[in-house]
């Protein structure tokens, strides 16, 4: 029982095999991709492994504290930001191997030409609650 984040990047990861930007796909290919993602989440709900899935807008704002009584400073978005997160899925699975297996399936979502994108997904374990028995 461990939670993993399957992290999808707009950029920052290695290039996918079928690396064609989504706006060059046909509308049908986009629909097929969305359907695949939806079916994948639904299947994980059925297996009792789904926790959460979210997509993020590509453009964000950088914010920092600017001292007592002042409004926070904002900046960006920065075009040069290397690592840009597109979204994630959180799964709760019995093993690391299972997390890798599922990430592999998610990476097979169809893209241009209806072929798998083979995109790189980042798998990150959640930090858990501490165990009760320690020695």
Partner 1 sequence: MDEALLRSLTPTVLGVLVRRGADFAAAEDAVQDALVEALRVWPADPPRDPKGWLVTVAWRRFLDATRADAARRRREDLVDEEPAPGPVPAVDDTLQLYFLCAHPSLTPSSAVALTLRAVGGLTTRQIAQAYLVPEATMAQRISRAKRTVSGGRLDQPGDVATVLRVLYLVFNEGYSGDVDLAAEAIRLTRQLAAAIDHPEVAGLLALMLLHHARRATRTAPDGSLVPLAEQDRRRWDTTSIAEGVEILQAALARDRLGEFQAQAAIAALHADAPTAEETDWVQIVEWYDELTRLTDSPVVRLNRAVAVGEADGPRAGLAALAALDDSLPRHAAVAAYLHERDGDLATAARLYAEAARRAPNLAERDHLTRQAARLNARWGR
**Alpha-carbon gap, residue 90 to 123, rounded angstroms:** 10
The residue among 20 and 41 lying less far from partner 1, judged by its C-beta, is 41
15 contacts: CB under 8 Å, gap ≥ 6: none
**Tokens describing residue 36:** 């695949």
Sign of CA dihedral 60, 28, 54, 120: negative
The residue among 52 and 83 lying less far from partner 1, judged by its C-beta, is 52
101 near partner 1, rule: CB under 8 A: no
The residue among 57 and 129 lying less far from partner 1, judged by its C-beta, is 129
**Alpha-carbon gap, residue 86 to 118, rounded angstroms:** 16
The residue among 61 and 132 lying less far from partner 1, judged by its C-beta, is 132
Q: Exposed, middle or buried, 107 (CB in 10 Å: 0-12/13-18/19+)?
A: middle
Q: Among residue numbers 36 through 75, which ones bind partner 1 (CB under 8 A)?
A: 45-52
Q: Which of 27, 67, 71, 130 binds partner 1 (CB under 8 A)?
A: 130
Q: How far is the CB of 12 from partner 1 (least distance, A)?
A: 21
Q: How far is the CB of 128 from partner 1 (least distance, A)?
A: 5
What does the binding site for partner 1 look like in residue numbers (CB under 8 A)? 1, 3, 45-52, 92-94, 125, 127-135
């Amino acid at each position: 029982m461990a939670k993993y984040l399957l992290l999808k990047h707009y950029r920052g990861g290695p290039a996918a095999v079928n690396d064609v930007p989504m706006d060059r796909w046909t509308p049908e290919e986009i629909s097929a991709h969305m359907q695949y993602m939806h079916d994948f989440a639904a299947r994980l709900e059925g297996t009792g492994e789904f926790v959460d899935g979210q997509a993020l807008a590509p453009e964000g704002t950088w914010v920092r504290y600017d001292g007592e009584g002042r409004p926070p400073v904002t900046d960006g978005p920065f075009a040069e930001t290397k690592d840009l997160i597109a979204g994630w899925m959180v799964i709760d699975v019995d093993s690391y191997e299972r997390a890798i297996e599922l990430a592999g399936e998610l990476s097979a979502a169809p893209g241009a030409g209806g072929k798998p994108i083979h995109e790189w997904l980042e798998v990150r374990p959640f930090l858990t609650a501490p165990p009760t028995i320690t020695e």
